[in-house]
Amino acid sequence: MTALPEMGTKVSCRAGWLFLPLGLAIVALSTRNVYTKMAVAVSCAIILAWTIGRGHTSRRGSWWVVVALCFSAAGDWFLFNKGRGEAYFLGGIASFFCAHLGYLVFASRQGRLDWRVLGILLGLYLLYYVFCLRPAIKSLELALAVLFYLLISCVAFSAAWDMRMRPLLKWPFIAGIGLIVFSDTLISFNEFLRWKQWNWLILPTYYLAQLCVSWTVLAQNPNDRANS
């Protein structure tokens, strides 16, 4: 009877480590320093890597979340420097594309793709791309990069939706991927459609997303080592 309270205490302790990236996120929201912004994803990645390596959480695809967070940090650097040229913007999109691949692999190890959710998302976002984004993007390379990123975002969210995990684990991860998609949509409003009224939400939702997906990894049962 003491196993469950003990497990809950351990999960609470591991979750407490997320106060570090939370604090960094608060600092990052008040500064324009790129390394402070990157530190949120990097700190989450370090915490997860240490936890996984020490065997305090499940290894079932969890390293892919660490990889995803590292690519997110790289994407932060590229997008911060996008004013130097289109190549930096493309580098940012490519980095976040790889981050979504990491999240997708993790979610796939926990379940399967929900085709109904994917169909709905693709229907909505392809319409948005065809009628709003594509006419506003002059560069063919950038237009293709945005299209492929849109597709991987929809696939990653659809895979997260049908994960076979306890609600305490599943829904924070779904919320995290959903917040990334939401934040990216707001970025597209700003970058391509010049709708700037929602810019204040971009970074808070992005940082919250990283905390959500990190929570899912930290709160897993360390005895679940299948397919690690």
- The alpha carbon torsion through 204, 208, 209, 212 (nearest 10 deg) reads -170
pLDDT tens profile 106-125: 999 999 999 999 999 999 99
Domains in the chain: boundaries: 3-218
Cα(117)–Cα(133) distance, rounded to whole angstroms? 22
Average pLDDT, the chain: 92
Predicted pLDDT at 11: 62
3-state SS of 137-180? CCCHHHHHHHHHHHHHHHHHHHHHHCECCCHHHHHHHHHHHHHH
What is the amino acid identity at position 140?
L
Cα(76)–Cα(39) distance, rounded to whole angstroms? 10
HSE-CB at 141 with a 13 A cutoff on CA atoms is 8
Any residues with CB less than 8 A from the CB of 138 and at least 6 apart, and which? none
C-alpha distances in Å from residue 183, one per residue of 15, 60, 116, 227: 24, 27, 23, 32
Predicted pLDDT at 12: 57
pLDDT tens profile 46-100: 999 999 998 878 787 999 999 999 999 999 999 999 999 999 999 999 999 999 9
What is the amino acid identity at position 42?
V
Token couple for 43: 């700190």
150: pLDDT strictly greater than 70: yes
Residue percentage of the chain with pLDDT more than 90: 84
Instruction: Give yes or no for a contact between 15 and 42, defined as CB atoms under 8 angstroms apart.
Output: no
C-alpha distances in Å from residue 205, one per residue of 4, 142, 182, 190: 32, 24, 8, 15
